[in-house]
Amino acid sequence: MGGIRTESAALRLATRSVSRGALVLTGTIALVVVVTIGSYTTSGLTASSLSSLGADPSIRALYGSPFDLSTAGGFTVWRAGQFLAIVAALWALLATTRILRGEEEAGRWDLLLTTPIAQDRLIVCHFGVLTAACGLQGVGVALAFVASGQPAPGSVLFGIGLALVALTFSTVGAVTSQLVGQRRKAAGLAGLLVGVAFLVRMIADASNGGGWLRWLTPFGWLEDLQPFGGNRLVALVPLVLAPLGLGALTLFLAGRRDVGEGIVRDPGTGPTRPALLRSPIGFSWRERRGGLVAWGGGLAVLGLVVGAITGTITDFLASNPSIAQATQNADLGGLLSTAGFVATMDSFTALLIAFYLVSSLHVVSEDEDDGRLELVYAAPVTRLDWLGAQILVSALVAVVLAVVTAAGIWLGIVAGSTTLSFGESLVGTLNVLPLGALALGVAVLLYGVRPTLVVPITGGALVLAYLMTFLGPALHLSDWMLDLSPFHHLALAPAQPVAWVSTLVMLAIASVLVVAGSMAFAARDLR
């Protein structure tokens, strides 16, 4: 029997652990909406000029089927809606598995559940907070549309739809948190389902006569709301029923398992595989193999999709004089050629590879936080031995990721109508690696000085730099501000030759940062 005090304490706890992420995400999504609406109104795009683009199967697969290209709102829902939904869904499932499985895995629920609160009530409290967090994103998006002068009904409908898609995948994460005992597995499983749901939506939109498949996936339901177009409310039915059903399933499953375990019990035993336990480098590789498969798989698929749409996009841009002019004005003239479009996409690859490197260094920081490194450093292993091995393996994985992405892009392009050699594709992705090196350097420096800042500062700086470079011209930022972003100093290879001076300068700065950070780490107290 939980009193009001117990429940409100549980609510405050859950709020504390998700509120910051929810606010940051809401702000980012709202910003993207405002900028996309702005780009539609200033570019002079019309429904007729976009219709050829909206009819192309590969474009439809990526962005979804357009239901209204005649208004800025409808265009924005089509152009950005699916991506915002996927980002919101991923955040929701990560937050959910973190508080519903991660906390339990760490043993903290053992403590909570000894207070006068039953497990189902505790889960319901967390659901309440997660619902509010998803709702916040919906409100933020709706306000962004309305503030940009779009009609209220479509704005509100899209906001509700986005929030419900996020909530659906939050409850998917809640169910996987009951099924398996480890947060990583629960998040991986739920993430896989997001991927499958998106893939079903892609097939539904790209194929002829496969439109009914849209009814199988939350991303399809969001599409079928047709905000600013048909404003069809019927798709709200599955969007409301899914989280309710999954929430009920969560409570049902939670009552049938032991605390600390999933429904599927992990035997928790295994054979001894000594091969990669001999040296810090071997162990570092062992720790990163799984990450390489996951990131490599994701980047390869992304590369394939980018490659597949390259021909269509460049044709579309070239055949619309007004857009051609606009892209030239925005310093994005390279977009008009195959190599140019690929180069622009490679900047995004750079952002993702940099994220990988930051997360890879975060693992070292986690090992230290969890006290595992005491035993390592009590052996004749110096701090530089250990950190150096982690940095080296992370950097090698980043290079492999660049090669894998290049292969994906190349295959996607070869499958389509245009041509680009594998060599050119490879030059494009390798060209952006100095940016990853720079991110790694900053991360190592922060790790040496203030480990808790590795993820927020490096991650934040990366996003800011990326947005400044690609939205900067549209926002009329001055040159010195653009120069601050390292993305601005990357040549658009393979459309342009590699800017060797910038490349070497960035690599040199990265090396200095890595050395300085490593030295600071060697000198500081272990936590």
Interacting residues toward other proteins by CB under 8 A: 182, 268-274, 277-280, 283, 370-372, 374-383, 523-526
Task: Name the residue nearer to other proteins (CB basis): 268 or 321.
Answer: 268
Task: Name the residue nearer to other proteins (CB basis): 259 or 277.
Answer: 277
Considering the complex, what minimum distance in angstroms separates the CB of residue 364 from other proteins? 13
CA distance 125 to 372: 33
Are 122 and 144 spatial neighbours (Cβ–Cβ below 8 Å)? no
CA distance 179 to 185: 9
Hey, how many other C-beta atoms are within 10 angstroms of the C-beta on 460?
12
Task: Name the residue nearer to other proteins (CB basis): 120 or 369.
Answer: 369
Considering the complex, what minimum distance in angstroms separates the CB of residue 59 from other proteins? 42
Task: Name the residue nearer to other proteins (CB basis): 274 or 321.
Answer: 274
Considering the complex, what minimum distance in angstroms separates the CB of residue 386 from other proteins? 9
- Residue at token pair 């990163």: 288
Phi-psi region of 307 (alpha: psi -120 to 50; beta: other; left: phi over 0): alpha
Task: Name the residue nearer to other proteins (CB basis): 19 or 182.
Answer: 182
Considering the complex, what minimum distance in angstroms separates the CB of residue 284 from other proteins? 12
Considering the complex, what minimum distance in angstroms separates the CB of residue 182 from other proteins? 8
Task: Name the residue nearer to other proteins (CB basis): 40 or 521.
Answer: 521
Burial class (CB in 10 A: 0-12, 13-18, 19+), 278: exposed
Considering the complex, what minimum distance in angstroms separates the CB of residue 107 from other proteins? 10
Task: Name the residue nearer to other proteins (CB basis): 209 or 267.
Answer: 267
Task: Name the residue nearer to other proteins (CB basis): 4 or 378.
Answer: 378
Considering the complex, what minimum distance in angstroms separates the CB of residue 373 from other proteins? 9
**According to DSSP H, which parts of 320-372 are helical?**
321-329, 338-369
Are 359 and 292 spatial neighbours (Cβ–Cβ below 8 Å)? no
Task: Name the residue nearer to other proteins (CB basis): 275 or 501.
Answer: 275
Are 205 and 65 spatial neighbours (Cβ–Cβ below 8 Å)? yes
CA distance 170 to 21: 14
Task: Name the residue nearer to other proteins (CB basis): 282 or 459.
Answer: 282
Considering the complex, what minimum distance in angstroms separates the CB of residue 374 from other proteins? 5
Task: Name the residue nearer to other proteins (CB basis): 209 or 380.
Answer: 380
Using alpha carbons only, give the angle 364, 365, 371 rounded to the nearest 5 degrees. 95
Phi-psi region of 377 (alpha: psi -120 to 50; beta: other; left: phi over 0): alpha
Residue among 36, 92, 44 nearest 63 (CA): 36
Hey, how many other C-beta atoms are within 10 angstroms of the C-beta on 473?
15
Sign (positive or negative) of CA dihedral 254, 255, 257, 259: positive
CA distance 514 to 357: 13
Considering the complex, what minimum distance in angstroms separates the CB of residue 183 from other proteins? 11
Considering the complex, what minimum distance in angstroms separates the CB of residue 283 from other proteins? 7
DSSP string, 146-201: HHTT--HHHHHHHHHHHHHHHHHHHHHHHHHHHH-S-HHHHHHHHHHHHHHHHHHH
Considering the complex, what minimum distance in angstroms separates the CB of residue 366 from other proteins? 11
**3-class secondary-structure state, position 232:** coil
